[in-house]
Amino acid sequence: MTGGRAGSGGADSTASAVGLTVDARWERGEGWSGPTTLVATARGLRTARGADPAPDLRLRGTVLPGLTDAHVHLALVDPAALRRGGLAAVDDLGGDPRVLARLTGTPGLPAVRYAGAFLTAPGGYPSDRSWAPPGAVEEVAGPERSVAAVDRQVAAGASFLKVVLHPGAGPELDDETFGAILARARAHGRPVVAHVEGEGQARRAHEAGIDRLAHAPFSERLPDDLVGAMARTQQWISTLDVHGWASPTREQDVAIDNLTRFAAAGGTVVYGTDQGNGPLPAGIDPRELLALGDAGLTADGLLRALTSTPTGAAFTYVPGEALGPDASPEDLVAWLARATVLVPDDLTHRPGSAGLALETPRRTHP
Ligand SMILES: [Zn+2]
């Protein structure tokens, strides 16, 4: 085993396992650490073990898990731009699953997971919206149609399902149909993400057992006891910046208020922006992170929200000075502006890896 290729079997025995030392590292549950020897594999980064060969690369800077935006619409944005903007993975929350299936595993794009089509009532939101392309919406006419609608998304590769609870914008799913969609998703072992809009809909989603909300609730200030109960069972995708973008609206104030109490009660906050909906920066959105800081998340909390999903071989590299445990959200935002998505092959194709601060350590032993 030579040339920095690491691993002697099992999951690491791919051509793309690379040993390296880095100046600093951040890891979920472990926080910040100093100089570390790692192995980059198809499964991601791991700490080097005794049996691994000595690394022959040194990456000047910090590595951390791949960053994920858990709410995007790839039909409405340039997926390659999202990757260039620092995203290793994205969750598409409403699009034609046949189109999305073709994007998965494409080099140069983020890793893609998807819900497939929005499941909504006949004529319900967003079936009437010009931005919803053909195949992006399934109108579910009654509980007996729910099984086939869910099955179609799962057969097309959906990792989770997306339902719409938005009665103010047209016909809505009745409780029986909504329940049948949830039951069928459960039978497939798929979580369900809900678009929740309008008074009473957050409570309805919670009582039905929805796993994840596509947006931190923004229609009404939720009572503390409901927020506390939701924090025990649900994950909330943030999407704070989409309420007005650079000119925040009342909805953003409501969403930040709800999210502040949800996070304080121990709820799982997931970074997501609704890419494709309005003028969002392609990639990591500084305004989203700063709004999450307003909701009380620390820099460490922001990194946890950004690393909600394992991203396979892809990881994040930030050249230059490391950040530390005392960093503020503002510090983190400035630092992440230098972030790049890497895979092990990027490290082995020197010097084509332009922009990487790589060194070959001087060997003290042959
Ligand atoms: Zn959306």
Task: Tell me what the pLDDT averaged over the chain comes to.
Answer: 91
State yes or no: pLDDT of 349 exceeds 80.
Answer: no
Cα 274 to ligand 1 centroid, rounded to whole Å: 5
| Mean pLDDT value of segment 110-137 | 92
Cα 219 to ligand 1 centroid, rounded to whole Å: 16
pLDDT attached to residue 9? 38
State yes or no: pLDDT of 79 exceeds 90.
Answer: yes
Cα 72 to ligand 1 centroid, rounded to whole Å: 6
Length of the chain in residues, anyone?
A: 366
Percent of the chain at pLDDT exceeding 70: 92
Cα 15 to ligand 1 centroid, rounded to whole Å: 37
Cα 216 to ligand 1 centroid, rounded to whole Å: 12
Cα 357 to ligand 1 centroid, rounded to whole Å: 37
The pLDDT tens digits of the residues spanning 316-345 come to 999 999 998 899 999 999 999 999 999 988
Q: For residues 312 and 111, give the distance between their C-alpha atoms in angstroms, rounded to a whole number.
A: 8
Cα 245 to ligand 1 centroid, rounded to whole Å: 14
Cα 200 to ligand 1 centroid, rounded to whole Å: 20
| Residue 54 pLDDT class (50, 70, 90 cuts) | confident
State yes or no: pLDDT of 102 exceeds 90.
Answer: yes
Residue 111, SS3? strand
Cα 332 to ligand 1 centroid, rounded to whole Å: 26
Helix (H) or strand (E) holding 41: strand 36-41
Cα 238 to ligand 1 centroid, rounded to whole Å: 11
Cα 310 to ligand 1 centroid, rounded to whole Å: 21
Q: For residues 212 and 70, give the distance between their C-alpha atoms in angstroms, rounded to a whole number.
A: 10
pLDDT attached to residue 4? 36
Angle at the Cα of 92 (from 247 to 262), degrees rounded to 5? 60
pLDDT attached to residue 150? 98
| Mean pLDDT value of segment 191-216 | 97
Beta bridge partners of 119: 138, 163
| Mean pLDDT value of segment 6-29 | 70
pLDDT attached to residue 6? 38
State yes or no: pLDDT of 346 exceeds 90.
Answer: no
Cα 273 to ligand 1 centroid, rounded to whole Å: 8
Cα 365 to ligand 1 centroid, rounded to whole Å: 55
Q: For residues 83 and 75, give the distance between their C-alpha atoms in angstroms, rounded to a whole number.
A: 15
Beta bridge partners of 45: 40
Cα 144 to ligand 1 centroid, rounded to whole Å: 26
pLDDT attached to residue 124? 92
| Residue 201 pLDDT class (50, 70, 90 cuts) | very high
Cα 92 to ligand 1 centroid, rounded to whole Å: 8
Cα 306 to ligand 1 centroid, rounded to whole Å: 17
| Mean pLDDT value of segment 171-192 | 96
Cα 70 to ligand 1 centroid, rounded to whole Å: 10
Cα 81 to ligand 1 centroid, rounded to whole Å: 18
Among 194-198, 199-203, 305-309, 310-314, the minimum mean pLDDT is found in 310-314
Cα 214 to ligand 1 centroid, rounded to whole Å: 7
| Mean pLDDT value of segment 75-85 | 96
pLDDT attached to residue 260? 98
Cα 73 to ligand 1 centroid, rounded to whole Å: 6
Domains and CATH numbers, the chain: 10-65+312-359 (2.30.40), 68-306 (3.20.20.140)
pLDDT attached to residue 132? 87
Q: What burial class does residue 3 get, using C-beta atoms within 10 Å of its C-beta: 0-12 exposed, 13-18 middle, 19+ buried?
A: exposed
| Mean pLDDT value of segment 164-176 | 92
pLDDT attached to residue 357? 75
Cα 272 to ligand 1 centroid, rounded to whole Å: 9
pLDDT attached to residue 351? 52
The single residue listed with the structure tokens 């099984």 is 147
State yes or no: pLDDT of 252 exceeds 50.
Answer: yes
State yes or no: pLDDT of 16 exceeds 80.
Answer: no
Cα 119 to ligand 1 centroid, rounded to whole Å: 13
Cα 93 to ligand 1 centroid, rounded to whole Å: 6
Cα 95 to ligand 1 centroid, rounded to whole Å: 10
State yes or no: pLDDT of 350 exceeds 80.
Answer: no
pLDDT attached to residue 344? 87
Cα 237 to ligand 1 centroid, rounded to whole Å: 10
| Mean pLDDT value of segment 92-105 | 95
pLDDT attached to residue 364? 52
Q: What is the Cα 203 distance to its own chain's centre?
A: 24
